[in-house]
Every structure is written in C-alpha cells, then in structure tokens.
Structure 1
C-alpha cells in the first residue's frame, strides 16, 4: 500500500527540475561525495529528500536530480514509496574492494585473529580519516556478541583508544588532526574539555598506548596502540574489555600481548614514511 507523500518530500515536477538544474546539469563530484557520505553517516536511518537538501544546503531540485542518478546506478537505494533514501549496494562493493586490496589489512588480519584467540577479547583494526576512526577489521570475543558488525563504522578519534593513540603521535609534529570545537560526549566519561584531552594525549604518548576509559561505550575499557609503519601513523589496533573482567593482572597481560602484536605487525608491514592518503 502506498503512503501519502509529504509535499516537502515529494519529487519536484519536471519543469522545476529542468529549469533549475536538470539531470544533465548535475556534474559536481564534490556534491556527489557529500551526499554519499551523508547517507553513510546515518547508518541505518534512511533520509528524506528534504533532510538531504537542508543538510547539504542545496535546492531540492538539484539534490533530487543527483539522487535519482545515483539510484539508477545502484549507489543509493529508495523504499517502496520513493521518499526514503539510504546507501546502495554499489557502495558496499566499492568498500569491499578497498578492503580486499589494502596492503596493510592483509598483514594485520592474521595477527588480530591470533591475538583475539589468545585473549578472547574483541580486537579492532582501524584507520584515521580526518577526525574520525574507521574500523577496517574486528575479531570478536566469544564471550559476548555484538548485534552489528563494527567494520565500516566511523567514530570520533578523540573518544576512542585507537583514535587517541594516533592523535598522541601527532602532538607537536605540525600535522595534528583538527579536534572539533564542540566535543560531543558519547558517554558520561567522554573527555569534552580540550585541555583535559590534550593532557590525556600527552600521557598516552609517554605511556606508549591509549586508554579509552568508558569514553566510547559504557562498561567497556579499550587499549589502543598506534602502528608506526607510516609516518605519521594512520593505523592502530585496540582491545576492548568489559570493566567487570578487568583486573591489574589482566591489564598487564593485555598490554604486553598488544605490544608484542604491534611489533610483529610493524616488522612485517612495508614502511611508508609519507603516510597513507586518507584525507588528513
């Protein structure tokens, strides 16, 4: 059964679209990327045309012309009513190709699998992209199961152990990653005071690894280690542990195992002192 269209969400008529842009007039690669990134950032929440237009600051007719092109080519999908849009299957295929051809992931994956089997905790591998960490691989603990896959998800670098380990590597280097002016907490423990965050990053650099103390997910502590095969580092590994299982002895065991794994990965990885191209 079709649902009634909201006037603000219904497609513009052909004369409106043709007068302002027309499908043939949509040539902006930057606008296309912005639209796809916006849809991806919403994860499982489809968006209406009005929301996309307002978020991108562009006319509805222009966004509609662009989104119809992307729907036709499989980069965006729509629901049965034609009013709700989300990321399409072509984006999945492109992302899978990225993972399949990444030279570092092929090296890291067996190591995090072995580390996960040794510790039976959840191990992550991620990459810094602007001010966020993007998860590229995860080895889940057998002691609990997540209702979703972490791979492909994006989280603020300042609130995650992997992100903080990489931000700490950049202190005083002139290639610091911009930290948002407004730090939005993910949990009550998230560091949202900039001075406190900088002090934590300085401690991270001296200690050699980062600690996310329930800053990203309540009830979970995470230990993050930068992988120094690029200069400055862009990749990191982490170990997530429920605080109910975390003792001083367990912390030492995890940190020592993570450090061994970091060194093993760095010995095998091709060195690239220019850094990865990730939009930093």
Structure 2
C-alpha cells in the first residue's frame, strides 16, 4: 500500500482488483494470503461488500467473487464516456468494410483493458469480451499501447520477464523493444498467434496531445488472413485513427492515461 493511501479504502479496492482476475472465486483464507491481510480485518469488509452487492458468495462454498453491482459500476463508466457513441460508429464502419472484429482498449498498468468491441459477422471470430484483460506485451493492442516504451521502461513494467501466452509469444525483452521501435516508425503494431492460437491482429495507437491514451485493433482468424486483407485493414485503421483522435481532442473520456 502507498503511504498516501487510506488503509481501509485501499483494502476494499485491493479485494475488488484481486477478484477481478479470478473467475471461480476465492475463499477468505486465499484472499488473506494473497493480500497479506489478517482474516479478522478482511471479514467485515467482505461482509459489507457482500451486503451491498459488490461481491457474491459462491454456492459451492468456494468463497467470494465479483457481484452484479461491480458490473453495474463498470458499465456506468462506459456509458459516461462523452465520445462513446461516436467511437463505436467509427468502429462499426471498420467492421462493415473488412468483416472482422474491432477492439478499442487502454493500458492499465501492464495489461490491456478492453473497453469496446464490435464483433465480426462471421461465425468463426476472436473470442473476447468487454472488460477482458491481457498482458500487453502479447497482443497487437498492447504493443500499440506500449509503442513509446523504451527497453528500460519495459523492464520496469515487467520485472519478472515476459511469460509465454502461446508458443508464439515474444518473450525476449530486447526483441519486444525492437518490435515497438519498428511500430513507431510504421505506425502499426501486429502479432500473429501470440495471445490466441489461430488469431492475428493489427493495431494502431490513439494519441491525445501527443500521448498514447488508447489503441484500436482488428483481429482476424489466420485462415482468413491474406496480404490483401492486411493492407485493407491497415488503411481502415489509419482512417479510423484520424477520426477517433479528432473525437479524443474535444472530449474527456476519463481514460487512464489522458
């Protein structure tokens, strides 16, 4: 906990952030061990969060997981974004023209946080959801968001190294830094089966006042990927980037890096 943080408030947020990454719930003991906080201190906080609907109790006795109020709170954030509908309109146009899934995401510490998604009309497409998180180094979106990061910044962001998400994930920090350097020169980031088998992705960073605040991507199953399609997607992303960056300049979306 940071010295300037209020202890009880920080513990509430630590609990919610911990359970955000767990789909099957955690017991009181597991939460206590993960946060290094006594069970006696955690129990009244968990009870209050349970009563208010931010947590729910697993029927199998496993413990606690996020409740409906946590979802409602996150959904309210998305609805309050000033340029919400305008950005989705731009994304929909990309999907209409290339027929593939389009994502809008931000960097939250070392992870990509997916905020918007327009699905491909095809039955076979990338499986993803709004609110999903992925290690930034293994995704096209993440590499776009990390474009301005130097090798030293990457080492600080990932002190334990780059763990493979698939057999194709880049796990060498220097190789990743070189990829980001190339992305900065070309304006595009890409990955092929680094985070999902049989999925490739092309992405662009979105800037506000020169600073990367978000990223936009198109994800394509590898069997539909061709050189022609990739060029089409790059052109569509570049056009969408210009439109969305114009929206960002005149709206406050409440993005983490604005």
Q: CA deviation at 1:81?
A: 5.6
What stretches of structure 1 of length at least 5 have no aligned partner?
1-25
2:222 aligns to what? 243
1:278 aligns to what? 256
Determine which structure has more spread, i.e. the larger CA radius of gyration: 1
Moved >6 Å (runs of 4+):
174-177
2:3 aligns to what? none
Where 2:201 maps in the other structure, the secondary structure is strand
Q: How many residues align?
A: 252
Cα contact 1:49–1:83 (8 A) shared by 2: no
Return the TM-score normalized by structure 1.
0.82
For the structure 1 residues 231 and 170, does the alpha-carbon distance in structure 2 shift closer, same or farther, using more than 3 Å as the test?
A: farther
Return the TM-score normalized by structure 2.
0.89
Distance in 2 of aligned mates of 1:108 and 1:275: 11
For residues 7-42 of structure 1, give each alpha carbon's deviation from its aligned partner in whole angstroms, at most 9, with x where no partner exists. Answer: xxxxxxxxxxxxxxxxxxx96111110100111111
Q: How does 1:189-268 map to 2 (within 5 A)?
A: 189-268=168-247
Q: How does 1:59-138 map to 2 (within 5 A)?
A: 59-80=38-59, 83-138=62-117
Match of 2:11 among 15, 25, 31: 31
Q: CA deviation at 1:141?
A: 0.8
Distance in 1 of aligned mates of 2:127 and 2:200: 19
Cα contact 2:50–2:56 (8 A) shared by 1: yes
For residues 209-249 of structure 1, give each alpha carbon's deviation from its aligned partner in whole angstroms, at most 9, with x where no partner exists. Answer: 10012111111110011111244112110000111111111
Cα contact 2:126–2:219 (8 A) shared by 1: no
For the structure 1 residues 129 and 231, does the alpha-carbon distance in structure 2 shift closer, same or farther, using more than 3 Å as the test?
A: farther
Distance in 2 of aligned mates of 1:278 and 1:268: 16
Distance in 2 of aligned mates of 1:128 and 1:223: 16
1:185 aligns to what? 164
Q: CA deviation at 1:190?
A: 0.9
2:141 aligns to what? 162
